Amino acid sequence: MNMQVESFETPQTPKEGYSGPITRSMTRKGDGNNNGAPPELPSHITTDMLDAYSKTFQENPVNILARNAITQVGPRWIALSQPEIAKVQHIFSHEISPQGHATDQSQSGRCWIFAGLNVLRTAFMEEHDLNDFEFSQTHLFFHDKIEKANYYLDQIIETAHLDINSDEVKWLNYSPASDGGYWSWFANLVSKYGVMPKSVMPETYNTESSRHMNWILSQKLREYAVDLRKMHNAGVSKSQLIEKKREVMAEVYKILAINLGEPPKEFDWEYENKDGDIVVVEGLTATTFYEDLVSTKVEDKVTLVNSPMEGRPFYRAYQSKDVNNMKGGKPMRFIHLPIEELEKYTSRSIEEGEGVWFAADVSPFFNGSLGTLDQGIWDYSAIYGTDFNMNKTDRILYHQSSANHAMMFTGFNESTDGNIDRWQVENSWGRNTGDSGYFIMSPQWFRDYVYEVIIDKKYLPENILNLLDEEPMELPAWDPMMQAVRVKEHSTCLLNSQDMIKA
């Protein structure tokens, strides 16, 4: 290969006050076939590169020590900072009362339902003088599944004219029967179906371990979707497609009834209050139970979101008509605010004695044994010799982070300087994690990984509430902002699981 040396002019730093062209001479090596451009580095991994990487790795004894430790026990335990662990205190200056025992979603993705019902039970327990109480999660789970199935098939009919690879259809087919959801879906369910005591419709094997039931249901729903699209392509009318949908929904109901049991249409509620008195309320339905006996109303709640990114200004309402769990349900609508606003209204709610539903990414910096959500007690940099510096916006846009679990804020601790130095969180992974199922969250973790809080409108100022009256910015379901706030079944919400609890 013929190599040549080329001389050319390039700008150099001008002297102060000089505005004319300044050039300097320099040389650059190139070959005769690429107009003097330097040869490109190989983009593939070569043996020489691997050898150089290995040599650098082996030369540092810290790397060898880290390898020997991490290959045996994994990074989660080794990264824990002992001085920071000693600072963990499950003590709070402000707590809601009464607090029920921590609930247990088991091996399911129902955290958003559990957290929602936990919000309702605080005032309920106080008003009915109860030591403890749980609403039936199975009751709402049943109706969520059948509503999602109906919504999915209805949307399959509505999009039957679109290509199977269109964004709309791919979104529908991604997860037609998942456990995951939004607060707005919880509110839709409670508004339509009410609530009932857990004793009336208790847990089943398939509520506590929903994965196999979900596979069966998803398989059948996708089969129905294939049939409906084929019928459309064959020229079948929309009314006939809807009639076909109604037929197959009977099979969906059968699958759910076999796995979960049927929700009772009417029931009596018998309970013992703190004084030992037996109280019986007869002739209830789930809707009358909610309307007459539950004072905390989902209809009074407002969704506040922090998902900072370009083109999504704060102090504006957003909505997605594509995001729903039922035909005729209210669409997902929220107000986008700076994270400081979410902190302010969360603490205000707790001061008034009301817990706050929230959605967050609990994958990073979670320790189930200590009951902590705090990046300060983890030191991955000491192990790997590199920093982890993505900000919240980049984590969202590059799919590094999104909401995967819903819980409830129940308290906070105010330090001597008047600032909040830790939050109390009620989880739904049972009483064998954290402090009997309750966790500590650091203020920085709140800012980095909390995406959504649900606040009663009575705790919000008029200027914030007025944003809901403005025309919202419409977002597709697959928009990064919408994805950031959905509590997804397939991730950590399912991990009442041994890795997250023990680590």
Q: Among the options 111, 143, 214, 404, which is catalytic?
A: 111
Q: Among the options 324, 427, 493, 496, which is catalytic?
A: 427
- Write out the DSSP string of 190-225: HHHH---BTTTS---HHHHB-HHHHHHHHHHHHHHH
Assigned token pair, 59 = 């030369």
Q: How far is residue 438's CA from residue 311's CA, in Å, rounded to a whole number? A: 37
Assigned token pair, 281 = 């309320």
Residue 307 sits at φ, ψ, to 5 deg, of -140, 70
Neighbours of 196 (CB within 10 A): 24
Residues whose CB is less than 8 angstroms from the CB of residue 376 and which lie 6 or more positions away in sequence, other chains included: 81, 84, 442, 444
Residues whose CB is less than 8 angstroms from the CB of residue 25 and which lie 6 or more positions away in sequence, other chains included: 7, 8, 9
Q: How far is residue 411's CA from residue 91's CA, in Å, rounded to a whole number? A: 9
Q: How far is residue 466's CA from residue 302's CA, in Å, rounded to a whole number? A: 12
| Residue 493: active-site member | no
Q: Among the options 143, 367, 405, 413, which is catalytic?
A: 405
Q: How far is residue 52's CA from residue 45's CA, in Å, rounded to a whole number? A: 11
Q: How far is residue 344's CA from residue 349's CA, in Å, rounded to a whole number? A: 9
Strands 356-360 and 405-414: antiparallel
Q: Which residues pair with 281 in a beta bridge?
A: 269
Owner of token pair 């419409």: 474
So which residues are the catalytic ones? Answer: 111, 405, 427
